[in-house]
Amino acid sequence: MADYREVTQEITQELTRTLSNISTHEVEQLTAEIQKAEKVFFVGVGRVLLSLKSIAKRLAHLGIKTYIVGQITEPAITEKDLLIVGSGSGETAFPLIIAKKAKQFNATVAHIGGNPQSSMRDYADLFVKIPVSTKLQLPGEIPSVQPMTSLFEQSLLILGDTIALLMVREKEMDMHALWKYHANLE
């Protein structure tokens, strides 16, 4: 039987290696775009979408207006807004279509993925590379012992929480005061 502690250590080592290989400059660019946007939209599919939903919720806790593309209360995107696309390969059809549409409305598009040479580069104004194994198996990717693209989705989620904490510290936000943004119909 597999050893829980050994497997946990393997996963956390992969995460540490991955997160330490994400460009600080790219993260700073994305953080600045989030802070200047009037509204921040998110698009992805599958487990990537689940990670993006968590990031959207965390940023909403900081008072940022966030929306998941396709949600029933999604407003119009404008030139004052940011679309964050999560796609490891940068080739996933739905996010590509949405990014193209966002550019038609002059919104800023940020792509968080593993492939800077993907089709998404035609629409992205900025790119944050999570340098892990994607379904494309490109050279230079950080390998993973985990199934499929788990390391990408995990890294994406932690990257989002890291950006949130950076913003909290930069703006010297009172952590207790942030509870006013937390859901209260629970």
Question: Among all residues, which ones are annotated catalytic?
Answer: 153
Strands 66-68 vs 40-43: parallel, antiparallel or unpaired: parallel
Which residues fall within 8 angstroms of residue 144, CB to CB, at 6 or more apart? Answer: 14, 132, 133, 150, 151
Q: Any idea how long the chain is?
A: 186
Sequence-distant contacts of 176-182: CB under 8 A, at least 24 apart: 178/61, 178/62, 178/63, 181/60, 181/61, 181/62, 181/63, 182/61
For 38, other C-beta atoms within 10 Å of its C-beta total 14
- In 3D space, the residue among 116, 62, 110, 60 whose CA is nearest the CA of residue 86 turns out to be 110
Q: What are phi and psi for residue 104, nearest 5 degrees?
A: -65, -25
Residue 29's Cβ-count burial label (10 Å; 0-12, 13-18, 19+) is middle
